[in-house]
Amino acid sequence: MKVKMTKREVPFNIISCIILLIIGLVMISPFIIMVIFSLERYANLQPPFPITFSIQEPSFFNFKIILENGDILTAYINSFIVAIGSVAINLFSVMLAGFAFSKGKFAGKKIMLAIILATMMIPFETRMIPMYLMFTKFGLKNNFLALILPSIVDGFGILLVKGFFDTIPDSLMEAAQIDGCNKWQIFIKIFVPFTGPIAATLIILKFMASWNSLLWPLVILTDKSKQTVPIFISSFATENGSRLAGSTMAAAFLGIIPVVLVFLLLQKHIIESIATTGLKE
Amino acid sequence: MRNTTKKLRDHDNTWYLFLLPTILGLLLFTAYPILESFRLSFFKSNGTIEEFIGLQNYTYIFNNDLFWKTVWNTFYITFFQLLIGIPIAYIIACIINELKICKNFIKSLFFIPYITPVVASATVFLFVLHPSGLLNSFIGLFGVEPINWLLYPTTAQWGTIIFSNWQALGFYIIIILANLQSIPTELDKAAQVDGATKIQIWWHITTPLMKGTFRFLIIMGWISGLQRFSDVYVLGGAQGSPARSLFTIVGFIYERGFGSFEFGVASAAAYVLFAIIAIFTIVNMTLTNLKKEQ
């Protein structure tokens, strides 16, 4: 990579680069001690304090303890089922609605869009109790559907997709209509093939949100065999935290790995998605 | 007249089929729960037996010291988080923006804490905030005595503030960077010709232009801060230990709803949270708008 710099810029770049790298190192230092603790053979008996940034006796013993009782594997599978289900149902519903709001002409369009936007501001906690009672009544407590189904309504996703379809000229739609295509065919054959980047954004954000969520799973999944990764980690940490430092860190490590791998693979796209959408959570 | 008939012909009811999943979802998972939660807030209920008690749930909450404590805790943590985090992120983002080398690598370094699951990173922070943990080793470099962060209320709250800033800093930086890049460079150049220094340009031209971004970060920060739960649940447990100092509004809703099954009280608290978020969003928007007009 060639970089052009004027003479005055060289010292500024080097100095600020070094300072930011040091701060950046501080930022990721918690992860470094996480790795050290989890690989330290006797960290469960005696946490390796004071912190030294070196491993006395490297071993996978702490991971073995975590993996042997099998709960984390179940939690992993559960989290994947929930995340994939949520992403699929969300994508399906949001693409259809975004298309209708962008290209459709029908009575009540503006009002419906306004209602969807207004409901985005209502915090989940306000809806949580009736949703718990409703899912329990339908026998869906401890069922992943209770976590997956609510992803069907997503005002933010609709806005994103609508904005994206708005950039595709209406003339494309009119031309296809003249050729005798119906709306469904136009949507599937002409519009969906364009949606690669916006779909990737939605998949990434929704997957991460699902993988991270704690409160709603904690409420609806009380059965131990149904717990997701965040529930597993938090219950392991509160039960054993200070006693089994090594294995607690190993559990956190295993919870972080999939997200960090996805991030390293799709770094640019993820940063861009979050920067343009401004989405948190 | 011709116009209206054309319009009518364009309207097409099959569009509603495209909206069917969203409409169903809105009815089942938004409209019904919001109304039902409002109804429940006037009832004494454990899920099976219900009794209308009027405003008693609300008066109970407003007279409950623990509830006010959760409001205070939630506000305190979020206020200082934003007060400290946004300026630091702004300065770092401005430096990154000027960099010509290792820009993306540094961006990623700051961003990794934000993308890691909160529960996992808060678990790691149990050992960062440990009496002989990472934070104390760090402040020890500057001669500060070790602190038992998670043992005392105030230090536990500050430990949470440090955690949430560590976690959110990358998000602030990315948002600020995206907006910095959209500032036209002509202004800078004009000021440079007029003899302004880089720092002057930064403070008098760039910073005022970023008002909209700060407003966005503050509003988003308050909305998510008021709903704080996951990190304090890991750092302080369901009780928000020590001495309820990490007990938040959502923690209160969770405890009353699913610890003691007082669905009426929990629903009323959830509505109070809703009202607080709405008021905060409106106040934030009008305050920052007024400044803009002046």
> What domains are there in chain A, each with its CATH number?
65-277 (1.10.3720.10)
- pLDDT at residue B290 in the model: 56
Of the pLDDT bands very low, low, confident and very high (cuts 50, 70, 90), residue B288 is: low
- pLDDT at residue A2 in the model: 52
pTM of the prediction?
Answer: 0.91
Closest residue, chain B, to A126 (C-alpha): B270
Contact between residue B106 and residue A20 where contact means Cβ atoms under 8 Å apart? yes
Closest residue, chain A, to B216 (C-alpha): A278
Query: Is pLDDT at B133 greater than 50 in this prediction?
Result: yes
Window A:55-84, CB contacts with B under 8 Å? none
Domains of chain B: 14-58 (no CATH), 64-293 (1.10.3720.10)
Query: Is pLDDT at A57 greater than 90 in this prediction?
Result: no
Query: Is pLDDT at B292 greater than 60 in this prediction?
Result: no
Long-range contacts of A61-65 (CB under 8 A, 24+ apart): A61/A246, A62/A37, A62/A38, A62/A246, A62/A247, A62/A249, A62/A250, A63/A38, A63/A250, A63/A253, A63/A254, A65/A244, A65/A246, A65/A247, A65/A250
Q: What's the average model confidence in pLDDT over A102-131?
A: 89
- pLDDT at residue A280 in the model: 46
- pLDDT at residue B289 in the model: 64
Rounded to an integer, what distance in angstroms lies between the CA atom of residue A267 and that of residue A249?
Answer: 25
Residue A183 in contact with partner chain B when CB distance is under 8 A? yes
Closest residue, chain B, to A127 (C-alpha): B33
Lowest mean pLDDT among A85-99, A251-265, B245-259, B261-275: A251-265
Residue among A35, A119, A129 with most chain B CBs within 10 A, to mutate:
A129
Q: What's the average model confidence in pLDDT over B237-257?
A: 95
Query: Is pLDDT at A83 greater than 90 in this prediction?
Result: yes
Q: Residue B52: helix, strand or coil by DSSP?
A: strand
Inter-chain contact B117–A238, Cβ cutoff 8 Å?
no
- pLDDT at residue B4 in the model: 45
Query: Is pLDDT at B10 greater than 60 in this prediction?
Result: no
Q: What's the average model confidence in pLDDT over A242-264?
A: 88
Cβ-Cβ contacts under 8 Å, B178 against chain A: 275-276
Q: What's the average model confidence in pLDDT over A9-32?
A: 91
For B110, the token pair is: 């700051």
Rounded to an integer, what distance in angstroms lies between the CA atom of residue B114 and that of residue B159?
Answer: 17
Helix axes B103-115, B65-98, angle to 10 degrees: 160
- pLDDT at residue A46 in the model: 80
Query: Is pLDDT at A40 greater than 70 in this prediction?
Result: yes
- pLDDT at residue A105 in the model: 86
Residue among A17, A109, A125, A248 with most chain B CBs within 10 A, to mutate:
A125
Of the pLDDT bands very low, low, confident and very high (cuts 50, 70, 90), residue A73 is: very high
Closest residue, chain B, to A3 (C-alpha): B100
Window B:205-264, CB contacts with A under 8 Å? 216, 220, 223-224, 226-227, 229-230, 233-234, 237, 250, 253-254, 257-258, 263
Cβ-Cβ contacts under 8 Å, A245 against chain B: 127
Inter-chain contact B30–A96, Cβ cutoff 8 Å?
no
Q: What's the average model confidence in pLDDT over B215-244?
A: 92
Mean model confidence pLDDT for chain B = 89
In tens, the pLDDT along B266-285 reads 999 999 999 999 998 888 77
Q: What's the average model confidence in pLDDT over B173-195?
A: 84
Per the listing, tokens 């006037």 go with B42
Of the pLDDT bands very low, low, confident and very high (cuts 50, 70, 90), residue B27 is: very high
What are the phi and psi torsion angles at A7 (to 5°)?
-60, -40
The listed range with the strongest mean pLDDT (A115-124, A138-147, A164-173) is: A138-147
- pLDDT at residue B188 in the model: 76
Q: Which helix (H) or strand (E) holds A184?
A: helix A183-185
Residue A123 in contact with partner chain B when CB distance is under 8 A? yes
Q: What's the average model confidence in pLDDT over B116-137?
A: 93
